[in-house]
């Protein structure tokens, strides 16, 4: 049996010309997220998406929809003909499905189809009276009801529902351009990626690993993080960049205190080149000011000065506690704390400089054949397309 899900988005906040673009992209993202739950259809009519899907898959579909940026809320709904008898019957069923005793309710009608036989207040009143008469032990409470029975009168029929599940809001991934996330296996960068997705960025990720020093566990972690993020923003393209040679060169030739900053500069250079080759417009990182010695304003400036592309740091205003809370909420936390070394934790100096001087860094880099090391790393990048990790009944 087919059932309906009504999907609402932030239509009111959208301005003129952006709107059709937003609506089209959101429809694509919804269809992508529901892959595997076929057969279903996604129609778009006047400010709502109407999804038709098999009854037993409705629950799984709603769970997935609740993660898609751009969606404000979803409701499992019934569709009946534009006929008061049908509407009464379906509303009564909704009322009777609620197991609570001495239930209070109200009717909330909304009409986008103006030729319907009743006005909105008439519909509220007539349907309310019908339910009051037919329902068992029910009362009307317009201010604080246990159950709100909503009726939307639309061209395509009357839609009735009583439950509303919140979506994440934000913008559909893909409407705000493309970004490359520097994704470590840590707690912060996946959250930064989630925030980029939230503002409509279509995300790719780059992870630097150092085989054989970093094992398969570290890479699996990053795969898992991408598949969690993909549930919010559709498929994620992950680029695995082999960083061993760069690190070895840095370690053998440069003072330990500058290593982290020099490594970051190399990562940024590689990430920017890769982004340019894929027509990506900005880099995203999980850095936040002052969290560790390598994240002072001076270190951030030293790192950023090697690229010309904008580097966005969505976590800059967050405390560690807030980032951890966000990581838990988006389900990346448990993966991030799995104990595998990433390439930075392997070679971290005991005392990184807090205020590196640009000329010191540049002098160190002149000793290295950086251009070749970078070109070689880029040549050996492996690219994977990672789909959302979805559980059919989850």
Residues that bind ligand ATP (CB under 6 A): 182-184, 186-189, 206-208, 267, 285-287, 291-292, 294, 342-344
Beta carbon of residue 130, minimum distance to ligand ATP (angstroms, whole number) = 57
The answer to whether 186 contacts Mg ion (rule: CB under 5 A) is yes
Partner in contact with 182, chosen from Mg ion, ligand ATP, none, beta carbon below 5 to 8 Å by kind: ligand ATP
Burial class of residue 288, CB neighbours in 10 A (0-12, 13-18, 19+): buried
Residues whose CB is less than 8 angstroms from the CB of residue 206 and which lie 6 or more positions away in sequence, other chains included: 180, 181, 182, 183, 238, 239, 240, 241, 270, 271, 274, 381
Binding region for Mg ion (CB under 5 A) out of 25-33, 77-85, 181-189, 291-299 = 181-189
Pick from ligand ATP, Mg ion, none: which does 224 bind, CB < 5 to 8 A by kind?
Answer: none
Residue 109 or 201 with smaller CB distance to ligand ATP: 201
In the complex, what is the shortest distance from the CB of residue 188 to ligand ATP, in angstroms, rounded to a whole number? 3
- Under the binding rule (CB under 5 A), the answer on residue 162 touching Mg ion is no
171 vs 192 by CB, closer to ligand ATP: 192
What residue is closest to Mg ion based on CB? 186
Q: Considering the complex, what minimum distance in angstroms separates the CB of residue 120 from Mg ion? A: 55
Nearer to ligand ATP, 6 or 183 (CB): 183
**Nearest residue (CB) to ligand ATP, 70 versus 185:** 185
Question: Locate tokens 């500069």: which residue?
Answer: 265
Nearer to Mg ion, 153 or 181 (CB): 181
Nearer to Mg ion, 152 or 287 (CB): 287
Residues 6+ away with beta carbon under 8 Å from 287: 188, 295, 300, 313, 315, 316
Nearer to ligand ATP, 100 or 355 (CB): 355
Work out how close the CB of 237 gets to ligand ATP at its nearest, in angstroms, rounded to a whole number: 14
Say if CB 346 and CB 214 are below 8 A apart: yes
Of 70 and 186, which CB lies nearer to ligand ATP in the complex structure?
A: 186
Q: Which does 302 bind (CB under 5 to 8 A by kind): ligand ATP, Mg ion, none?
A: none
Residue 181 and residue 206 in contact, taking contact as beta carbons nearer than 8 Å: yes
Query: Which residues on neighbouring strands pair with residue 152, listed in sequence order?
Result: 110, 159
Q: How far is the CB of 305 from Mg ion (least distance, A)?
A: 21
CB of 188 to Mg ion, least distance (A): 7
Compute the CA torsion angle 247, 251, 253, 254 (nearest 10 deg): 100
Q: Which residue's CB is nearer to Mg ion, number 160 or number 183?
A: 183
**Cβ–Cβ contacts within 10 Å for residue 243, how many?**
25
Rg (CA), the chain: 26
Question: Binding of Mg ion at residue 184 (CB under 5 A)?
Answer: yes
Cross-strand partners of 7: 49, 74
Closest by alpha carbon to 167, among 305, 295, 301, 29? 29
State yes or no: cis peptide before 349, omega within 30 of 0: no
Mark the segment that binds Mg ion (CB under 5 A) among 185-193, 227-235, 249-257, 263-271. 185-193
Q: Which of 205, 169, 386 is nearest to 280 (CA)?
A: 205
Judged by beta carbon distances under 5 to 8 A according to partner kind, the member of ligand ATP, Mg ion, none in contact with residue 332 is none
For residue 312, the tally of other CB atoms under 10 A from its CB is: 17
Q: Which helix (H) or strand (E) holds 124?
A: helix 120-134
CB of 139 to Mg ion, least distance (A): 57
Question: What is the nearest approach in angstroms of Mg ion to the Cβ of residue 101?
Answer: 54
Binning the chain into helix, strand and coil, the percentages to the nearest 5 are: 45, 20, 35
Instruction: Name the minimum Å distance from CB 356 to ligand ATP.
Output: 14
Q: Which two tokens stand for residue 274?
A: 């890769």
Rule CB under 5 A: which residues touch Mg ion?
184, 186
């Amino acid at each position: 049996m087919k059932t309906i899900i009504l999907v609402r988005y932030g239509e009111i906040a959208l301005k003129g010309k952006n709107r059709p673009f937003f609506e089209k992209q959101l429809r694509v993202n919804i269809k992508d997220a529901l892959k595997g739950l076929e057969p279903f259809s996604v129609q778009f009519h006047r400010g709502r998406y109407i999804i038709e899907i098999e009854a037993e898959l409705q629950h799984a579909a709603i769970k997935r929809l609740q993660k898609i940026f751009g969606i404000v809320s979803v409701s499992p709904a019934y569709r009946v003909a534009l006929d008061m008898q049908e509407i009464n019957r379906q509303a009564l069923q909704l009322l009777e499905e609620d197991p609570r005793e001495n239930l209070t309710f109200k009717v909330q009608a909304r009409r986008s189809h103006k030729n319907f036989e009743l006005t909105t207040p008439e519909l509220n009143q007539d349907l309310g009276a019908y339910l009051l008469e037919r329902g068992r032990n029910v009362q009307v409470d317009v201010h604080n009801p246990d159950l709100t029975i909503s009726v939307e009168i639309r061209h395509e029929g009357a839609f009735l529902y009583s439950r509303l599940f919140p979506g994440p809001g934000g913008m559909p991934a893909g409407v705000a351009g493309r970004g490359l996330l520097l994704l470590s296996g840590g707690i912060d960068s996946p959250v930064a990626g989630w925030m980029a997705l939230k503002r409509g960025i279509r995300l790719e990720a780059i992870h630097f690993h150092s085989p054989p020093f970093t094992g398969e566990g570290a890479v699996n972690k990053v795969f898992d993080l991408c598949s969690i993020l993909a549930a919010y923003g559709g498929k994620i393209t992950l680029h695995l960049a082999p960083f061993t040679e760069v690190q070895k060169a840095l370690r053998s030739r440069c003072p330990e205190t500058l290593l982290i900053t020099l490594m970051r500069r190399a990562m940024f250079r590689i990430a920017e080149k890769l982004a340019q080759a894929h027509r990506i417009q900005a880099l995203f990182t999980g850095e936040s000011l002052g969290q560790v010695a390598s994240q002072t304003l001076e270190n951030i400036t030293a790192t950023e000065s090697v690229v010309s592309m904008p580097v966005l740091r969505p976590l800059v205003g967050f405390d560690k506690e807030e980032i951890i809370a966000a990581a838990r909420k988006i389900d990346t936390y448990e993966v991030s704390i799995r104990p595998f070394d990433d390439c930075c934790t392997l070679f971290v100096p005991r005392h990184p400089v807090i205020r590196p001087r640009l000329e010191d860094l540049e002098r160190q880099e002149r000793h290295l054949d950086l251009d070749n090391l970078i070109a070689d790393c880029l040549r050996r990048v492996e690219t994977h397309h990672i789909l959302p990790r979805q559980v059919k009944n989850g």
